Amino acid sequence: MPMRFIFENYVKPALIAIAALAIAGACALPAKNAASKASPRNVDSDTIRAALGNGMLFGVLGGYRSLISDFVWIKGYLDWEKKDLAACIASIQLATEIDPYMISFWTQGASIIAFDTPHWIIAKLPKDKRTAELMDIVKKKQTRIALKFIDRALKIFPANQELLIQKGQIAIGAGFFDIAEKAYAAVAAQPDPQIYVRRIYSSLLLKNGKFKQALKVLESILPDIEPDSPLQQIIPQQIEKTKELIKKTQL
């Protein structure tokens, strides 16, 4: 087997993978202070590119980007298992920098930031400090970080339903119903929106006091319900309740 073939197909990818994983570890160092302050610091693209030698390694990666980003993501998963906040966030961000077209990196990364990291942060505090009030504060703070993270992906894929739905769910989890409404509105406005999307969207409109808009969304569901679906009874009931709310606001 020619040495060039061995180098290009085995040695080079391995070396790049090792380099990428080393960089992921290096990017975790600036985040250590942030972790000790109950919040991960965002490692921006300038920081990462500086660590990569002003983008030189990005050029070397070429067609190996997908492979290397998988290695970095696996490292992030191992960091997640260890609940290593700084290292996990650094790996997530580096993976999305290397391969920003991998939607699952964005959705799962945002989910980890919003739903997992608050528990890691609180768990490091003395037991007498682990109050529900503090958890709520930390959860909202981490949610804002997660939303900024997923907004980076939406700049690349502004109409991607997975990203928009994940953004909406993350916002709902922290009680940011106005943000969730906008995310689901973007999905519901696309051709042939799923019934469950419209149901969630209508519930958010109701939550935000937009009863007439919620009614229109609910009524749009009726023609698309399967004849044997339980929704044949549920949706008309919700429509009637919404009409009652509208009447009350007009008194």
Mean pLDDT of the chain: 83
Give me the long-range contacts of 47-53 (CB less than 8 A, separation at least 24). 48/23, 48/93, 48/94, 48/97, 51/23, 51/26, 51/27, 52/23
What does the angle CA 19 – CA 96 – CA 192 come to, to the nearest 5 degrees? Answer: 155
DSSP-derived 3-state class of residue 192: coil
DSSP 91: H
Tens of pLDDT, residue by residue over 194-225, are: 999 999 999 999 999 999 999 999 999 999 99
Tens of pLDDT, residue by residue over 139-157, are: 999 999 999 999 999 999 9
**What does the DSSP assignment read for 122-153?**
HHTS-GGG--HHHHHHHHHHHHHHHHHHHHHH
> What pLDDT does 64 receive?
74
Tens of pLDDT, residue by residue over 86-113, are: 999 999 999 998 889 999 999 999 999 9
Tens of pLDDT, residue by residue over 159-181, are: 999 999 999 999 999 999 999 99
Written as one letter, the residue type at 239 is I
CA distances for 112 relative to 63, 85, 142, angstroms: 28, 10, 10
Domain ranges of the chain: 3-187, 191-251
What does pTM read for this prediction? 0.78
Nearest of 207, 208, 209, 205 to residue 221 by alpha carbon: 205
Domain 3-187 CATH (choose: 1.10.10, 1.10.3470, 1.25.40, 3.90.420): 1.25.40
Tens of pLDDT, residue by residue over 46-67, are: 544 444 444 444 555 566 778 8
- In the predicted model, is pLDDT for residue 14 greater than 60? no
Nearest of 207, 244, 205, 202 to residue 222 by alpha carbon: 202
Neighbours of 83 (CB within 10 A): 15
